Chains A and B, each alone.
Chain A
Amino acid sequence: MTRRDMARYLARRLAQAALVLWAAFTLSFIVLYLLPGDPIEIMTGGGASGDAVDPAQIAALRHEYGFDRPLAVQYLDRLAAALHGDFGRSVTSGVPVLGLIRTGLPATLTLTGLAVALAVPAGAGLALLATYTRTPRLRRLLLSLPSLGVALPTFWVGLVLLQVVSFRLRLLPSAGDAGPAAQVLPAVTLAVPAAAALAQVLARGLDNVLRDPYVETAHAKGAGRLRVHLRHVAPNAVIPALTLLGLVIGELMTNAVVVETVFSRDGLGRITATAVGAEDIPVVQGVVVVSAVVIVLVNLLVDLAYPLLDPRIVLGGRAS
């Protein structure tokens, strides 16, 4: 693939990415602004003290936040502002949404990165070992682990780890943001379902490839079992797992909502959890769009990685 083809491919993918982001913005606008629920009523304390709010004051606030204008106007206005990085202000705290997200994003991205760094070797190791072993009982045991990992509630895994590792054994700090040691348990918690899902897909892929005739050829030519497994089989089985990894990273980022709540850590997840509880519509929309940006970027990277793993794949779909 020439440099020019590459540039053309990237330009097309970026245009697609922009379209997806627009779709994410529009869908979240439809859900958040068209469904019943009045942010201003919540803001003025709907449930707490509800009675003493001056209707004129509510009208003024509604005007200030632009909730009194026709929806189409609101939509275009918000879209134009969002293109300039302005997602409005939090309904509960009045802080600009993007600034709020920026304070939480680094911590959550670090946590997500750590979880990926744990989940990939764990999932890959499990799948490779399960398909390599010749002991049926060990194989069955290893293959049953992922279905267990997928079925465990994330919040509960976190709490059990806290109980055992922090309170019983006193090995790691229980909560807060102090130092790298405090990152271990949240990252492990987040990694469990991701590793399980990766292991499931990779093991299935490995099993399929192992049936290919070329594997027998490699054995016949005298290559050792381990060598065939790692050098001949694994590279051909890894593509579906890579596709899944692209999806998993977005899920990990969202699951931070649960994990950061369990471990009382600051981050985008905690900000989201609070915003959802307070029905803080601008903040939630900002989180959706920022998450969509991360997901789109990750998927672009995954697509760029395909040809590196499998030379038969040509970006853009057509051989040059």
Chain B
Amino acid sequence: MTGLVTGLAAEAPLTAGPGRRALGAARLLLSRPGLLVSVVVVLLALTAAFLPGLFTSGDPLAAAPARSLLPPGPGHPFGTDQLGRDLFTRVVYGAGPSLKVTVVAVAAGVVLGGLLGLVAGLAVRWLDDVIARVIEVLLAVPSLLLSLTLVTALGSGTVNVALAVGLANVAGFARIMRAEVLRVRTSAYVEAAEAFGARRHSVLLRHVLPNAYGPLLAVATLSTGTAVLAVAALGFLGYGAAPPAPEWGALVAQGRDYLSSAWWLTTMPGLTVAAVALAVNRIARAEGEWAGLR
């Protein structure tokens, strides 16, 4: 807290530029080790998702029966599974399907929810009322239940899981966007812009969207944390990637049969999911504090 305040105080008298802002962000990170670790964890996970070869030279599907069910140790930091596949390699390659699905899910939620909220906030009264009621009902339904319903309708598979998790979060984004549109639309400066004869859609683009962007981003980060967990849960239940693929939730499910003999098969991928979710939540909290201070 104090680190953030002094960081901002030091920054305040200077003119704000991209370089200054980056410096401020760096200072903020250094003053908070927890946040720094979180950013590093997320960056590592994202790198693994797109460039798994940087972390391991192994093949996630290469079996070596002679080295099956080895506990974590030199050569195999996470141990090996029943077919002798290196678990660390599988977890690294699992970042791809797990995180890409999460990112697609959140993006789908933000875009669709944002549009829905925008339409509600700008629409005629009755349409706004209908959308607001639908949002309310959707918010009352547990998101896992919504995701499961969508998986039933769409079928299993990675793309469908992404859509299911994303659509289940639409209501939250729609609510934020609608509230922001209503707030900005009735603010004095937008009224002034309209009084000066600005067209409606230009008011929308110039004033409403940039203002709604901040809160929407904070909620998007927060729901990325829950989306990581939701995607892993659906993968664990067997609705995600097909078996040999190393998705994190599916890895835990595959390790279930060796629970009493090979603890690392469930523990390591599970810890990975927890670490990423924790790190994303930590960053979301910092964003919230930052937005609150501004």
Listed in ascending order, the chain A residues whose CB lies under 8 Å from chain B are 20, 23-24, 27-28, 31-32, 35-37, 147-148, 150-156, 159-160, 162-163, 167, 247, 250-251, 253-255, 257-258, 261-262, 272-273, 275-277, 279-281, 284, 287-288, 291-292, 295, 299
Contacts and interface: CB of A to CB of B under 8 A. Distances in A.
Nearest to A33: B153
A277 B153 contact: no
Contacts of A152: 274, 277
B123 interface: no
Interface stretch (B58-66, B99-107, B230-238): B230-238
Given A23-B134, A167-B259, A277-B238, A247 B252 contact: no
A153 B152 contact: no
A37 B164 CA distance: 14
A163 B262 CA distance: 10
A151 B280 CA distance: 9
30 contacts: A35-B150, A35-B154, A37-B152, A37-B154, A147-B281, A151-B281, A152-B274, A153-B233, A153-B236, A153-B273, A155-B233, A156-B266, A156-B270, A159-B252, A163-B260, A163-B266, A247-B142, A253-B142, A254-B148, A255-B144, A257-B237, A261-B237, A262-B256, A272-B148, A284-B148, A284-B152, A288-B149, A291-B142, A291-B145, A295-B141
Nearest to B278: A151
Given A28-B149, A35-B153, A261-B237, A254 B144 contact: yes
A247 B144 CA distance: 13
A153 B273 CA distance: 7
B90 interface: no
Contacts of B141: 24, 250, 288, 291-292, 295
Interface in B221-279: 225, 229, 232-233, 236-239, 249, 252-253, 256, 259-260, 263, 266-267, 270-271, 273-274, 277-278
Given A37-B154, A153-B274, A154-B233, A159 B140 contact: no
B150 A20 contact: no
Leading 10 A-B pairs by shortest Cβ distance: A156-B270, A35-B153, A151-B278, A151-B277, A254-B142, A167-B260, A254-B145, A251-B142, A284-B152, A254-B144
A31 B142 contact: no
B133 interface: yes
Given A23-B137, A148-B278, A258-B233, A159 B256 contact: yes
A252 to B, nearest CB: 9
A161 to B, nearest CB: 11
A150 B281 contact: yes
B154 A160 contact: no
B152 A163 contact: no
Most buried by B among A32, A156, A279, A284: A156
Given A152-B274, A159-B270, A288-B149, A250 B140 contact: yes
B140 A155 contact: no
B278 A159 contact: no
Contacts of A276: 148, 151-152, 237, 239
A93 to B, nearest CB: 16
A279 B155 contact: yes
A23 B256 CA distance: 38
B169 interface: no
B273 A156 contact: yes
Nearest to A30: B153
B219 interface: no
A153 B270 contact: yes
Most buried by A among B151, B152, B253, B273: B152
Contacts of A254: 142, 144-145, 148
B152 A32 contact: yes
Contact of B153 (A37, A150, A257, A262): A37
Given A151-B229, A155-B236, A276-B151, A257 B144 contact: yes
Contacts of A35: 150, 153-154
Contacts of B148: 254, 257, 272, 276, 284
Contacts of B149: 28, 31-32, 284, 288
Contacts of B233: 153-155, 258
Given A279-B152, A288-B149, A295 B252 contact: no
Nearest to B269: A156
B138 interface: yes
Contacts of B256: 159, 262
Nearest to A278: B152
A281 B148 CA distance: 11
Given A148-B278, A257-B144, 8 more contacts: A20-B137, A35-B154, A153-B277, A251-B144, A262-B256, A276-B148, A288-B149, A291-B145
A35 B163 CA distance: 12
A258 B145 CA distance: 11
Contacts of B263: 163
Interface in B115-160: 133-134, 137-138, 140-142, 144-145, 148-156
Given A258-B236, A275-B152, A276-B239, A250 B270 contact: no
B267 A160 contact: yes
B282 interface: yes
